[in-house]
Chain A
Amino acid sequence: MKHIKTLNGATLKKSAAHGGCGECQTSCQSACKTSCTVANQKCENQ
């Protein structure tokens, strides 16, 4: 495409099929303890 470059595809939608195992890290335990960002966590199933 000339005007648009896609940085990321529909990964969120695709994740609905296999998601919900609950094994991933609790976000608040990682490096913050006050503010939240969940999207920087790792998926344990990848």
Chain B
Amino acid sequence: MVHTFQCLGVFAAVDVNSGAVHVLDELTYRLLEQVTPPMEEHCPAEVRDKLPQYDPAALEEAWQELRGLAEQGLLFEEDDYIDREKAASIQQQALVKALCLHVSHDCNLRCKYCFASTGDFGTGHRMTMDFETAKKAIDFVVAKSGHRRNIEVDFFGGEPLMAMDTVKKTVEYARSIEKEHDKCFRFTITTNGVLLDDENIEYINREMSNAVLSLDGRREVNDDLRPTVNGKGSYDVIVPRFEKLIAGRGTKDYYLRGTFTRFHKDFAEDVKALAAIGRNVSVEPVVGKEDDPYALREEDLPELKAEYERLAEYLKDHPETNFFHFNVDLAQGPCVIKRLRGCGAGCEYVAVTPEGDIYPCHQFVGSEDYRLGSVHDDSFDKELSSRFAGLNIYTREACRDCWARFYCSGGCSASNLLVNGDIKKPHHMGCELERKRLECAIALQAIRSGLAE
């Protein structure tokens, strides 16, 4: 399977199954659109006839170059090299190695699009996690992770800084048992920044390998969508704190992370605004049902795709900005086995609530049909987990024929459920935007590597 596209003036071809990516001249791009493998020895007359604007000798030359790529396994490769049984068996081992630890189901902002119902996840009561529950969650992941060494814990909420005491005790406890169990914990935190004082900043910069800092970009956009409990803007409170944290971050990762909605579709401007605060930026589409006023709609797609390309044009001249969603490691990214199964929600990645309940990921929290168990009684629904473990790009029908399947790896089960009522049925709009982001990412790489202008 070959996907051809134009983006930023670059003509490109992705050989989906081998992972090869080629930059073409326009003649070869038009020619490749006409090719059905296996390729004949010479460019057929009927193909030449469809491209009368080009010199036949030049078409023959390009034809031979394409044939050369096919002979080298760089074009029209099949995916029969993938051992699907091995891949399925790895998934079904259900080794949990990543926790989204909801230390707080309370929040000090009232974001209008919040999937967690402004912090309480629709439960009607706000609470933080006690240390005993967090400790059991750590014991749970250690026990469930088998021989996997690297374990990730993301302190999440609500707003996790509202439960800083639990965060600190949990880190201390996990570090105290690392050697005994031969594990390496990596902690991250996702915060809105309101409670970032000097002590919290110093702690996060010391202990957290990644900090995700929530901010929606321009002041007016942020303050419209992310007000305080009293309905005031949060930008002026938060930004100086994030700046201070970033200044002390050293070589550790961080991302300024924003959400864009139907209210502000010119999100490239928000990326620019965030990049003025820190170089690592992640801005992504809101999760919501189509009837939510802020939710993006199918009719918005042309505008949103154009906006991604506008952003890519800007980033072409601003390589100092690292936009997370245009990062694709073509040469040394994850192996093909990893790329079959995506995020691992429900099997290798789970969320634990302040009550100790286990869900497939943070976005399933509160959906009783998807409650996997509890860290308090060691219950874990293996059958439900196995349904998630069985999800991959071959078992999700819409992914099988998608050119982007090895890059996005099947999308988000929670979005699929929210929009389509089925964890296996990809959210079409999410897929369209993901494909556009990938095209922009590849075109940017071609330009930055000097293969295109």
Contact = CB atoms under 8 A, between A and B. Distances in A.
B324 interface: yes
B431 to A, nearest CB: 10
Given A13-B81, A28-B361, A38-B334, A6 B22 contact: yes
B344 A26 contact: yes
A36 B411 contact: yes
Contacts of B68: 1
A21 to B, nearest CB: 8
B242 interface: no
A14 to B, nearest CB: 8
> How many of chain B's residues touch chain A, expressed as a range?
35 or more
B284 A10 contact: no
A4 B23 contact: yes
B449 interface: yes
Given A33-B190, A37-B434, A12 B65 contact: no
Interface in B39-78: 58, 61-62, 65-66, 68-69, 73-74, 77
> How many of chain A's residues touch chain B, expressed as a range?
35 or more
Nearest to B211: A31
Interface string B399-443: 000000011111110010000000000000010011001100010
A33 to B, nearest CB: 7
Interface string A12-23: 110110111111
Nearest to A11: B19
B217 to A, nearest CB: 15
B17 A13 contact: yes
B331 A11 contact: yes
Q: For chain B, what secondary structure do more than half of its interface residues adopt (helix, strand, loop), or is it mixed?
A: mixed
Given A11-B19, A35-B430, A36-B408, 11 more contacts: A4-B28, A4-B65, A6-B69, A11-B331, A21-B335, A28-B361, A29-B100, A29-B188, A35-B284, A38-B334, A40-B327
15 contacts: A3-B25, A4-B66, A11-B332, A13-B18, A16-B82, A22-B148, A26-B348, A29-B100, A32-B282, A34-B284, A38-B407, A38-B408, A39-B329, A41-B333, A43-B338
Given A3-B62, A7-B446, A28-B343, A23 B150 contact: yes
Nearest to B412: A36
B434 A35 contact: yes
Q: Which residue among A19, A23, A46 has the maximum number of chain B CB atoms within 10 Å of its CB?
A: A19
Query: Closest 8 CB pairs between A and B?
Result: A12-B19, A19-B335, A20-B337, A10-B18, A26-B98, A31-B255, A15-B335, A19-B337
A18 B86 CA distance: 12
Contact of A10 (B77, B210, B406, B407): B77
A6 B73 CA distance: 12
B330 A8 contact: yes
Q: Which residue among B22, B68, B415 has the maximum number of chain A CB atoms within 10 Å of its CB?
A: B22
B409 A8 contact: no
B23 A7 contact: yes
Contacts of B328: 37, 39-40
B69 A4 contact: yes
Contacts of B86: 20
Q: Which residue among A1, A19, A31, A36 has the maximum number of chain B CB atoms within 10 Å of its CB?
A: A31
Contacts of B332: 11, 42-43, 46
Contacts of A5: 22-23, 451-452
Contacts of A24: 150, 334, 338
A5 B212 CA distance: 37
A25 B97 CA distance: 9
A3 B61 contact: yes
Contact of B445 (A1, A2, A7, A33): A7
Contacts of A7: 12, 21-23, 330, 442, 445-446, 449, 451
B342 interface: yes
A19 B28 contact: no
B190 to A, nearest CB: 7
Contacts of A38: 333-334, 338-339, 342-343, 407-409
A25 B255 CA distance: 16
B335 A6 contact: no
A29 B332 CA distance: 19
